[in-house]
Amino acid sequence: MSRAETIDTLAIFTGKPAFPEKLYVGRPNIGNRDSFMERIGDILDRRWLTNEGRYAQEFESRLAELAGVRHCITMCNATIALEITIRALGLAGEVIVPSFTFIATPHSLQWQEITPVFCDIDPLTHNMDPRRVEELITPRTTGIIGVHVWGRPCAVEPLTEIARRRGLKLLFDAAHAFGCSHRGEAIGGFGDAEVFSFHATKFFNTFEGGAVATNNDELAAKIRLMKNFGFAGYDRVVYLGTNGKMTEVSAAMGLSSLESLDQFIAVNRRNYLLYREELSGLPGVGVISYDERERNNFQYLVLEIDEEVSRISRDLLMEILHGENVLARRYFYPGCHRMEPYASYFPHARLLLPATEQLAGRVLVLPTGTAVSDSDIATICRIIRTAVAHGAEISERLGAR
Ligand SMILES: *Cc1c(COP(=O)(O)O)cnc(C)c1O
């Protein structure tokens, strides 16, 4: 019998993992090394390390082109980009956000004492349910932040319609959605602005980094001032600002990553199709789908485990994979509303978030990207098939341990 075809070969029993080295979710994709090193040499030669450098400017114009927007403003990371955009839009009071997102989405509001009001999701799309948004609007509400979770666009049109009708600002956290499209249009141009993340764990990285995309000239000018302390020229500060600038090293990485963008996406797509094929027909284990008519980056390989049907719990499956050095992750477990400070502020939030609660118990994200090979995927899937086929027996044995 080959490895992991019977439960006796599983590492939770043998202590011998299938992979000698850990396989991580979000292991960075590295672009063209030579072109990156060349740019680094140039940065050092010219001694221009940050502040509207050549590479930051070039990167911004390439990004704007790709996202099909008038302005793309690079930042040191997406969290600061969200904070600055929230402030530039004049958000205050309450803002409606999903809880099924990375903690930076509500934190970027709470950090400036704006209350995130958590909205439940549509279990089919994993994105904020626009039918639940209006009932959360109060006289204090100033805006909505939609999140394109997994790079799958959220309900852009319904949210745009609600925002327009109720006089609210609309921002999108597009941290997952660089290179994706909605109805054939690049993510970046929807709402008042959209924010990308280029963090090391995202499929396209600048070490740390982010950008704000917008078609609003006035907003863009304001954001540019705010990310540079409010400086409008030497010795002239016209605004309350902070420091959100991207360094030249990050911009150089971005330009080199851009040269490999299509390749990253092609690898992710290939991995996705391979995983889907290897895991097809497993009871209670679904691989989320992407709309093939749109551009997707396929950066997240997301399993949804229906414990009523599968013979194994999501958490036991994760434990088994961790034993094999496959560091599968529960995203966005347990939901932002169960993390601090929100759990203390809104101890009953879960009662209004049944779909979020359920999904946070079902999702398991697997490693993908250029660091994962076809044979890695075959092995990971073999482990999952064995675990699912013998779930009850494994639980029993572990219970008896
Ligand atoms: C990664 C991420 C962020 C934060 O991005 P950073 O660049 O790490 O600050 C925000 N929102 C979502 C949904 C993310 O996944």
Within 10 A of 345 (CB to CB), how many other CB atoms are there? 12
Kindly state the average pLDDT of the residues 181-210: 98
Q: Which atom of ligand 1 is nearest to the CA of 209?
A: 7
Do residue 247 and residue 324 come from a single domain? Answer: no
Interval 116-134: pLDDT, tens: 999 999 999 999 999 999 9
Interval 210-226: pLDDT, tens: 999 999 999 999 999 99
How many domains are contained in the chain?
Answer: 2
Q: Which atom of ligand 1 is nearest to the CA of 77?
A: 7
Residue 361 in domain = no
Give the residue among 221, 233, 156, 140 at the shortest CA–CA distance from 194: 156
Do residue 41 and residue 115 come from a single domain? Answer: yes
pLDDT at 5: 73
Task: State in Å: Cα 195 to ligand 1 middle.
Answer: 9
Give the residue among 256, 354, 313, 257 at the shortest CA–CA distance from 38: 256
Residue 47 in domain = yes
pLDDT at 388: 95
Kindly state the average pLDDT of the residues 170-187: 98
Q: Which atom of ligand 1 is nearest to the CA of 80?
A: 9
Interval 100-109: pLDDT, tens: 999 999 999 9
pLDDT band for position 401 (cuts 50, 70, 90):
low
CATH number assigned to the domain comprising residue 275: 3.90.1150.10
Q: Is a pLDDT exceeding 60 seen at residue 66?
A: yes
Show the domain range for 40.
33-259
Is this model's pTM higher than 0.95 or not? yes
Task: State in Å: Cα 104 to ligand 1 middle.
Answer: 6
- Given 210, 242, 259, which residue is the final one in a domain? 259
Substitution site in 150, 178, 199 for ligand 1 pocket (most atoms within 8 Å of beta carbon):
199
165 versus 400: the higher-pLDDT residue is 165
Q: Give the binding-site residues of ligand 1, using a 6 Å CB cut-off.
A: 77-79, 101-102, 104-105, 147, 173, 175-176, 197, 199, 210
CATH number assigned to the domain comprising residue 254: 3.40.640.10
pLDDT at 3: 56
Do residue 13 and residue 47 come from a single domain? Answer: no
Substitution site in 75, 105, 203, 247 for ligand 1 pocket (most atoms within 8 Å of beta carbon):
105
pLDDT band for position 1 (cuts 50, 70, 90):
very low
Task: State in Å: Cα 315 to ligand 1 middle.
Answer: 24
- Placement of tokens 């941290």 in the chain: 175
Structure tokens at 162: 């609600």
**CA–CA distance, 373 with 127 (Å, rounded to integer):** 30
Give the residue among 11, 19, 5, 102 at the shortest CA–CA distance from 367: 19
**CA–CA distance, 368 with 377 (Å, rounded to integer):** 8
Residue 346 in domain = no
Do residue 247 and residue 321 come from a single domain? Answer: no
Do residue 74 and residue 220 come from a single domain? Answer: yes
Do residue 228 and residue 276 come from a single domain? Answer: no
Do residue 112 and residue 203 come from a single domain? Answer: yes
Q: Is a pLDDT exceeding 60 seen at residue 2?
A: no
Task: State in Å: Cα 334 to ligand 1 middle.
Answer: 17
Do residue 202 and residue 278 come from a single domain? Answer: no
Q: Mean pLDDT in the chain?
A: 96
- Given 204, 229, 259, which residue is the final one in a domain? 259
Residue 344 in domain = no
Do residue 220 and residue 252 come from a single domain? Answer: yes
Interval 146-158: pLDDT, tens: 999 999 999 999 9
Start-to-end C-alpha separation, the chain: 24
Substitution site in 102, 145, 332 for ligand 1 pocket (most atoms within 8 Å of beta carbon):
102
Do residue 221 and residue 202 come from a single domain? Answer: yes
358 versus 6: the higher-pLDDT residue is 358
Q: Which atom of ligand 1 is nearest to the CA of 149?
A: 13
- Check if the beta carbon of residue 303 is closer than 8 Å to that of residue 363: yes
Indicate which residue's Cα is closest to atom 10 of ligand 1: 104
Q: Which atom of ligand 1 is nearest to the CA of 210?
A: 7
Report, in this order, helix, strand and coil percent for the chain, each rounded to 5.
40, 15, 40
Task: State in Å: Cα 107 to ligand 1 middle.
Answer: 11
Do residue 10 and residue 105 come from a single domain? Answer: no
pLDDT at 399: 85
Interval 276-307: pLDDT, tens: 999 999 999 999 999 999 999 999 999 999 99
Do residue 266 and residue 150 come from a single domain? Answer: no
Kindly state the average pLDDT of the residues 222-233: 96
Residue 347 in domain = no
Residue 90 in domain = yes
Residue 97 in domain = yes
- Given 238, 259, 280, which residue is the final one in a domain? 259
Task: State in Å: Cα 399 to ligand 1 middle.
Answer: 38
Residue 351 in domain = no
pLDDT at 4: 58
